[in-house]
Structure 1
Amino acid sequence: MSLPQAWADLPFFRDDWPAISSRLEGQDWLPGPARVFAALGLTPPERARVVILGQDPYPTPGHANGLAFSVTPETALPRSLRNIYAEMRDDLGRAPENGDLSHWARQGVLLLNTSLSVLPGQAGIHAKWGWERLARQAVARAQAERPLAFILWGAHAQKALAGLPRPQDLVIETAHPSPLSARRGFFGSRPFSRVNDWLAAQGDAPIDWALSETADAE
């Protein structure tokens, strides 16, 4: 497994990754060695502008692609992502063509999970392995480059990054987009236009949230 070079000097890779890597050896884990650090690889610290935090990869083989809330292009939309797209359509009038959010990551949306590995069919199985230290360290590193917009969906994300947002950062905290909680404050929160309005106020380009992977490749 190659480390994301722009982030490789984080203390996590010296202090925690060797033990986690050793525990993963011999296991059929997801999203696998090629995609485990995809979020960091696609969004180096100097390009990070927005932070969206998830919990852990989808535990169904072939679904997770290493980005929070994202799935491979051929995978049907998970329920939370379906609600995210529904809110985006209400907010912006359109949504991506599939569930692969790589085009968000390439525009500076850091799509980290607090745990970057999982076993098939066993959600949360690696949640206490120490992965969460990587999320906090990565966010702190990105903050050294510029103000950030935080989209924190649900109590897990809000607790995981507690104390990191600064006065100069934008923080949008709502209920999680899961069907169990989306109607308790997620729907109607308009996070996508709010982030873009804030970026414009910073003199920065907006995120093209609804860009499809097909359009991204053209």
Structure 2
Amino acid sequence: MPPKKRKAVAESTSKAKVAKKNDSKGKEKKGGASSAGSLDLSSFLKDDMWKERLKEEFEKDYFKGIEESLSADYAKGEEIFPPKDLIFNAFNLTPIDKAHGLSFSVLPGVKIPPSLKNIYKELSSDIPGFTAPDHGCLEKWAKEGVLLLNATLTVQAHKPNSHAKIGWQKFTDAAIKAVSDHTQGVVFLLWGGFAHKKEKLVDVAKHRVVKTAHPSPLSASKFKDCKCFSRVNSALKELGKEEVDWSL
């Protein structure tokens, strides 16, 4: 039986892309609230292994600040992406020993984001036989052990970086460190200068790091021909792990 492949992908955008809009005036009031009516984000993290590794983060002041900021936005009727039940999608879909999330992913039928189009272009030139799909759903990669993690897990609709300073980056840094500390042989693919700073959280003695430009249209010329996907597979092979099947 081949060894499990494990790969973490950290990226720098603070936009959490999802396919459906949350109803901040209706459904959002039904879940994740304590008896006092405050927001309890931890209730949306379902995976037991991640809960164990991140439980201390939920008790810290900065995380309480995240909950207060989001509660205020919901109370004002702000449209927040993603819906509450998808905020921890990256963690719920894949245990810490497999690692995956959906930062670039959208449901079938939703227009493919520009950055994902650039990812598909690079895959087409980098991975023999890859054919770009007509959808932007990356859930198959979840089963391949791919973690696509945003530095910031929520954002106000039409307001890029609106939640970049409410504390999410401390939480996602803790998640990256948890993967580094509690797994063996992960390849961290860091897209963009902001993500490159996360290398300090990785134990490079037992993991590998691949750094490239971000696939955003703003840096597409630098991302083009970076061969990051084949480089990831080469690193996995070097670590004795099964390569990622990038087909979708």
Is residue 83–residue 179 contact of structure 1 (8 Å, CA) maintained in 2? yes
Say if 2:59 is the partner of 1:8: no
| Structure 1 partner of 2:91 | 40
1:163 partner SS:
helix
CA distance in 2, matches of 1:169, 1:95: 29
Deviation of residue 82 (structure 1)? 0.5
Counterpart of 2:158, as a letter, is: G
Alpha-carbon distance, 1:21 to partner:
2.2
Higher relative contact order (CA 8 A, sep 6+): 2
Question: 1:21-68: CA deviations, max 9, x gaps?
Answer: 2322224311111111000111211113xx8xxxxxxxxxxxxxx721
SS of the residue 1:24 aligns to: helix
Most deviating of 19-28 and 166-175: 19-28
The separation in 1 between residues aligned to 2:147 and 2:122, in whole angstroms, is 20
Q: Secondary structure at the match of 2:157?
A: coil
Question: 3-state SS of the aligned residue for 1:167?
Answer: coil
Query: Does residue 52 of structure 2 align to residue 20 of structure 1?
Result: no
Q: Does 1:202 align with 2:233?
A: no
Give the conservation status (yes or no) of the 8 Å contact 2:184–2:206: no
Match in the other structure for 2:187? 149
- Counterparts of residues 12-161 of structure 1 (less than 5 Å): 12-15=57-60, 16-25=62-71, 26=74, 27-48=78-99, 67-92=102-127, 93-97=129-133, 98-143=135-180, 144-159=182-197, 161=198
Q: CA deviation at 1:96?
A: 4.8
Task: Mark the runs of 5 or more structure 2 residues left unpaired by the alignment.
Answer: 1-31, 33-43
Report the Cα distance in structure 2 between the residues aligned to 1:100 and 1:14, rounded to whole angstroms.
Answer: 33
Task: Give the alignment's Cα RMSD to 1 decimal.
Answer: 1.8
CA displacement 1:77-104 (0-9 Å, x = unmatched): 1111101100000011314522111221
Query: Runs of 5+ in structure 1 lacking a partner?
Result: 52-65, 212-218
Structure 2 residue matching 1:80: 3-state secondary structure: helix
8 Å CA contact 2:69–2:166 kept in 1: the answer is no
CA distance in structure 2 between the aligned counterparts of 1:12 and 1:72, rounded to whole angstroms: 30
Task: Count matched residues.
Answer: 193
Measured in 1, the distance between the counterparts of 2:208 and 2:199 equals 14
Letter in 1 for 2:90: A
TM-score by length of 1: 0.81
Q: Which amino acid aligns with 2:121?
A: A
Percent identity of paired positions between Structure 1 and Structure 2: 38
Query: Contact between 2:45 and 2:91, CA under 8 Å: does it hold in 1?
Result: no
Which residue identity does 1:3 align to in structure 2?
L
Q: 2:80–2:154: 8 Å Cα contact kept in structure 1?
A: yes
